[in-house]
Chain A
Amino acid sequence: MNKLELNEDKVLEVRFVGDDDVLNHILDREGESLKNGSATVGGNKVYSFQNRKHPEKMAKLASELAKTPRKNVSYSLKNDPEIMTDIPQCSKGHSPSDEVQLKNNDKSEFISTTRVLRKRLIAPRNHSDSESEYSASNSEDDEEVAQEFEEDTNKAILSPKTQAQNRVVSAPVYKATPSKKMKRDKTSDLVEEYFEAHSSSKVLTSDRTLQKLKKAKLDQQTLRNLLSKVSPSFSAELKQLNQQYEQLFHKWMLQLHLGFNIVLYGLGSKRDLLERFRATMLQDSIHIVINGFFPGISVKSILNSITEEVLDHMGTFRNILDQLDWIINKFKEDSSLELFLLIHNLDSQMLRGDKSQQIIAQLSSLRNIYLIASIDHLNAPLMWDHVKQSLYNWLWYETTTYSPYTEETSYENSLLVKQSGSLPLSSLTHVSRSLTPNARGIFRLLIKYQLDNQDNPSYLGLSFQDFYQQCREAFLVNSDLTLRAQLTEFRDHKLIRTKKGTDGVEYLFIPIDNGTLSEFLEKEEEES
């Protein structure tokens, strides 16, 4: 289906509904499981496995959701041609070639690559048979074709689209799962289903990548700017929720003082809530706020801030356990000492390790250390065994706030967020300023070499010998010893890493992404 064909709004509307209908029709027998998937009680969903999902279901659900009461999708489509092209594309249309195919509407006219040949095998079938035929694809034959097709799907999901009707997209995929599966559905052998879904190494998803979209990755700043334009919805209700939680502040203080520790869970960032707690209750007491989501956080840094800043101890410790012992003794000796620990995201990447949890738990078990923490990860409670739980002595409080995890996700190497690299860049310039001109030259040589090779996938790094040669030629060093001495300095700053190649040769490379490096070079050149 493509927009060329649809010059009438009406046509689109009819099509769209038809699409759903047919999809439903095709999935007739799966209908039962479909309902299972989307219409059961919450509890069931939590504890049961679900059926293998259909790759195109998401698009389907999206269109369904879009059509939910009060907002009529057909209406919106009429008004906005932009979306009109969007929706169909999301469920089917992929490339211009598709459109071409659709235009001819005749399959046998295709260029005959092996791939298309195979397609042709299916195509006549698709064409000649009625749609009900697809849903009843029980014959061996059919299955074989489907299997063949499946091998091909990664390259071409499009073949069914050769038929003018887009809805067939799903049919072959559906067939690819053997009909036996249907029986299993009935017996609801959930475990089997789970393993079946995980047995095949292939997953059927479309091949489209973000690069084809213009708006692929945004950097953190633009993302923030864009989001700031969104007016938050349900603010009244959220405010009420928050007020409800704020009323608990006094109770929390009481319970903290009575030897319990408090953990907050539930959807939404609990950072603001804890901040308010801090502002209202903790102004007159010593407290430490720990951002668990900060990527550089570690138990060591927590303990250090306790020993150095709270207890004003200047000495050092042999290891973390000694430090912990020291702190524990200190707190046991001086009962007037009180310390509140506020940990945002106790379950973060950096703190969820067994050792870290053990240490935090031991701290929290002290009488005069009060811990109030938040957890967000789905499986966070798995961090704690019975021993740790009894050390923590948790009281659980549900605080679902629905507030966005702005701060928590801002550090994260998020999927779609482009790393601006401003931090590594600044540190790079900083370090390079402190270097001798020769050393800077050496480093620049390596950067250039790395940038020249950035398109070479088998690029390992610059071998030491070659590097030495180049440096010599540029009059930067006079012996390999001097070069090595220079390299140690880079290595200390983590600017260079070495790898042993298969031939035993040392390869050098810079563990910083190329974008940052080229930016750095540009800056350097500007300055000089």
Chain B
Amino acid sequence: MATSSVSKGCFVFKPNFKKRKISVPIEEYFNEGKNESEDSKLRFETYQVIWQQMKSETEKMQEELNKNLFDSLIKFLQKSHSGFQKNSRDWGCQIKLREIPTAALILGVNVTDHEFTFRSLTEAIQNNVTPYVVKLQARDCPDIKHFLQKLFSQLMDCHVDVESKEEEKDIQKKTHCSMDSLSSWYMNVTQKTDQGKPRKKRTSSQWQSPPVVLILKDMESFTTKVLQDFIIISSQHLHEFPLILIFGIATSPVIIHRLLPHAVSSLLCIEIFQSLSCKEHLTTVIDKLLLTTQFPFNLSEKVLQILTSIFLYYDFSIQNFIKGLQLSLLEHFYSQPLSVLCCNLPEAKRRINFLSDNQCENIRRLPSFRRYVEKQATEKQVALLTNERFLKEETQSLLESLHVYHTNYFLVLRCLHQFTSSLPKYPLGRQIRELYCTCLEKNIWDSEEYASALQLLRMLAKDELMTILQKCFSVLNSSSEKQLGSTAKRIEELLAQLQSLDAEVKEEEDASGSQSKGLQKTDLYHLQKSLLEMKELRRTGKKQTKFEVLREKVVNFIDSLVREYLLPPETQPLYEAVYFTAAHTLHEHLNAAPRLALHTALNNPYYYLKNEVLKSEEGCIPNVAPDICIAYKLHLECSRLINLVDWSEAFATVVTAAEKTDANSVTSEERNDIIHARFIRAVSELELLGFVKPTKRKTDHVARLTWGGC
């Protein structure tokens, strides 16, 4: 069946029923179409396991992060509700109480993450406050009618009552949705529960009339009119329909007053809630997913860099960051046959025993492994390269040491971060992810920033130093594995020494205090003189205080830790199995540059076609290039309007010159026609691509739509 027609644009293909049942499992796609299908099934399973773990971990984490916010929100909801409850019998009081309790939820510009927040918020409210939670989006509510309809239908869905559902559906269809019908429905429902249906006791045991919570997910994009009308109407019905609003706001709370006139906003009783900033969010995500040995999968420096810059410069979206993580995970397992070893240590050791010969070859081909082999003694080299058994044993021990390396790495990294995160100007970055990136990239101790950071560390005051050391101590103790046990002990010792310094330091302070007292009394000349003397003294003698000696010790200690443990991963044999390095694929698929691709294709066809004929110096284009390239190149030379005649003649000039040799066979008339046809095609293609458009300003002209090269 053809998929082009002049009368329709959609073509449905439905294979017969029997055929359809044989659906291909996803794993098939994982290994098909590839030469290296080593352990592909296992790899795919591992991918799924790790991804599921990561996903649930992030979800759990997001919930934890939102916990504070939700708690205060729920408290607010309960409070505003209790007011209603108290007055529910007292109508007079109720009429006075016209203000709709409203929570303004400032969520930040990362709109894509809001969906998750709202989902868990709804859940939390349903569990704690009221079953009647309705979420509305601006795109569903172009006018008040739709607004009420949506509200109505969603409320019906909230009220899960099997018997009455059918009947309610009918009601919904029949009745014209209005606030009156809403409130009568509400009365109906609450009375029903009053009469005592144990099923509904979950919430109504506390409150006879649970409030209705309406969440407007994207408050900014609602039409002002709809919002205003709804608020005015519902405030009239507040006494019989206990409504609470929650506004989801991406920008700032001022927007409420900008959208709603005073008359309307005065009907609201607004309280503002601020959610956690997305940057903190990101820090937690990286902390929980990457800076941990819980997941064997790691990102190389470039990949991490790309993911964080997409986050910071494009959208602030955690969801997208996770998506990038998922893609890198997938790519890693898809492209690296040895990724089969990217699982937890015992499992990996088991898997090594079942590795095929091919896979052993793959291991031998790893650059990091080759480097490792070269460093070994000759007989061991031979054994590694020829004996599969020996290789497997060696791989096991290497994997183990890789695991140990990671454990130590993250601990030391955190310690170092404790030291550097409080330095002025943050030479190594304020966030741990920046520090991590630098450490992944190269030997951090070779960098200038590191040197300056150490210098700054040598100037720390004692109390700062002590708090940092204490934090480091707790970091080291937090890990269950005792790899760095001695280090922790060492830090403890240093701490103790610092504390014992206290008394001595006090004495010194006294001494210096009296000295300065003496200085104050002298005149300027003497002061200068004595200062000079002191300077001289310091330079020559440079007698350090005990504290300074100790501080030096601490700094040297941390420096030695860094040099020992923060080696870049490339130095570790077999690191390829657990690090995803193909940053360019990630960049291509997540952050593509379609304009650039178009421009390159048009401007430099050699880049794609790789034909020597097309090779030319920068900025020029050979006359044998595809027609569209030539037309494009010519159009670049024009200003806003392009005369089609000129264009077509220029095009003909170029093309004829290219075609000269083989053109003798056809008559010139026909050839001209063909060239004209080619020109027409090229121009209409450029029109499709959005470079030119027809214009009425002058006959037979097109307007150029781009300014600049592309």
Contacts and interface: CB of A to CB of B under 8 A. Distances in A.
A209 B10 contact: no
A63 B684 contact: no
A63 B691 CA distance: 23
Given A254-B26, A398-B597, A387 B698 contact: no
B683 A38 contact: no
A91 to B, nearest CB: 9
B320 A390 contact: yes
A278 to B, nearest CB: 8
B700 interface: yes
B638 interface: yes
A321 B140 contact: yes
A87 B653 contact: yes
Among B11, B645, B694: residue with most chain A CB under 10 A? B645
Interface in A37-89: 37-50, 52-55, 57-63, 65-69, 71, 73, 75-76, 79-80, 82-83, 86-87, 89
Nearest to A308: B12
A396 B9 CA distance: 24
B10 A230 contact: no
Contact of B599 (A42, A212, A289, A291): A42
Contacts of A111: none
Q: What size tier do the contact residues of chain A reach? A: 35 or more
Interface residues of B, number: 129
Contact of B698 (A205, A309, A400): A205
Interface stretch (B271-279, B375-383, B409-417, B702-710): B702-710
A42 B644 contact: no
Contacts of B600: 42
Given A400-B601, A409-B684, A415-B644, A258 B330 contact: yes
Interface string B672-683: 111011111101
B646 A266 contact: no
Contacts of A45: 599, 603, 708-710
Interface string A355-390: 000100000000000000001111111000011011
A62 to B, nearest CB: 3
A479 to B, nearest CB: 39
A229 B674 contact: yes
Contact of B709 (A46, A62, A204): A46
Interface in A182-212: 194, 197-198, 203-212
A287 B19 CA distance: 14
Nearest to A414: B684
Nearest to B3: A289
Interface stretch (A128-136, A244-252, A467-475): A244-252
Given A63-B653, A251-B29, A68 B623 contact: yes
Interface stretch (A140-148, A297-305, A506-514): A297-305
Contacts of B679: 416
Given A47-B708, A417-B680, A266 B623 contact: no
A242 to B, nearest CB: 11
A284 interface: yes
B640 A198 contact: yes
B592 A46 contact: no
Contacts of A395: 327, 589-590
B650 A61 contact: yes
Given A375-B594, A404-B685, A409-B688, A253 B15 contact: no
B150 to A, nearest CB: 9
B689 interface: yes
B657 to A, nearest CB: 4
Nearest to A295: B9
Interface string A258-295: 10100001111000000100100011111111111110
Contacts of B642: 58, 205
A82 B589 CA distance: 50
Nearest to B640: A203
B339 to A, nearest CB: 15
A139 interface: no
Contacts of B503: none
A23 to B, nearest CB: 12
B323 A393 contact: yes
Nearest to A344: B3
Interface string A417-432: 1000001000000000
Contact of A66 (B656, B697, B699): B656
B111 to A, nearest CB: 5
Interface stretch (A24-32, A233-241, A493-501): A233-241
Contacts of B9: 290-292, 294, 296-297, 301
A412 interface: yes
A412 B326 CA distance: 40
A252 to B, nearest CB: 8
Contacts of A4: none
A435 interface: no
B181 interface: no
Given A205-B642, A254-B29, A415-B684, A59 B592 contact: no
Given A65-B621, A210-B645, A386 B597 contact: no
Interface of B: 3-15, 19-20, 22-24, 26, 29-30, 32-34, 110-112, 139-140, 146, 315, 317, 319-320, 323, 326-327, 330, 334, 588-592, 594-605, 608-611, 614, 616, 618-624, 626, 628, 630, 633-647, 649-654, 656-658, 660, 668, 670, 672-674, 676-681, 683-685, 687-691, 694, 697-702, 705-710
17 contacts: A37-B636, A45-B599, A62-B649, A69-B622, A75-B660, A86-B649, A87-B653, A206-B645, A215-B672, A227-B678, A237-B609, A258-B326, A287-B13, A291-B4, A310-B14, A396-B594, A400-B597
Closest 7 CB pairs of A and B: A45-B709, A294-B9, A250-B33, A396-B592, A62-B650, A90-B649, A297-B9
